[in-house]
Structure 1
Amino acid sequence: MRKPELAAAIADQTGLTREKASDVISAFTNQISAATAKGDDVTLIGFGTFNVRKREARTGRNPQTGASIEIPASKTVGFKAGKALKDAIR
């Protein structure tokens, strides 16, 4: 499901217009982005938790040449599904 499809489903369920539902989705994703950029976790009880995960620097290998390369440390966003979401997909 892509954003337009999600907006349409939310609009049908809530009575909002598709444009308003799309605005709500954008605001939601913007807030999650802003919170994780600050290093905060975002927990939605029953749905899951978005958190910042740190990757250590490591040595990798170029698959074409086989040469060793240094991969710098980085941060990424992780998601851990909540119990209700896990139960919904079983």
Structure 2
Amino acid sequence: MKSLLLLVIRVYWITWPAAWRRRCLYRESCSRYVHRITAAEGLGAGLRALRSRVRTCRPGYAVVRCEGHTWLALGDGSLLEAEEVAPRLLATD
């Protein structure tokens, strides 16, 4: 089953053009993250990683800066450290 999830992700990468994909909030895209976790730790860990990313990825987020620290506040109330966040979201004008 682990191989099936890895195959589905690879097919997604090949068949779904990058321009059509949602831009990920995370530094490591959700599909790359789930692929990496599944390959290293197995199907159960991969499915948990997928569930976690789907739950936190949308809807809404806000960049929070306080006392020299930066986080991304997600719609579910969780916070991501700046190191986990896509750099384009943290860029200041």
- The interval holding the TM-score normalised by the smaller chain is 0.3 to 0.5
Between Structure 1 and Structure 2, whose CA radius of gyration is higher? 1
Higher RCO (CA < 8 A, seq sep 6+): 2
Q: Please state which structure has a larger fraction of its residues in helix.
A: 2
Q: Please state which structure has a larger fraction of its residues in strand.
A: 1
TM-score normalised over the length of structure 2? 0.31
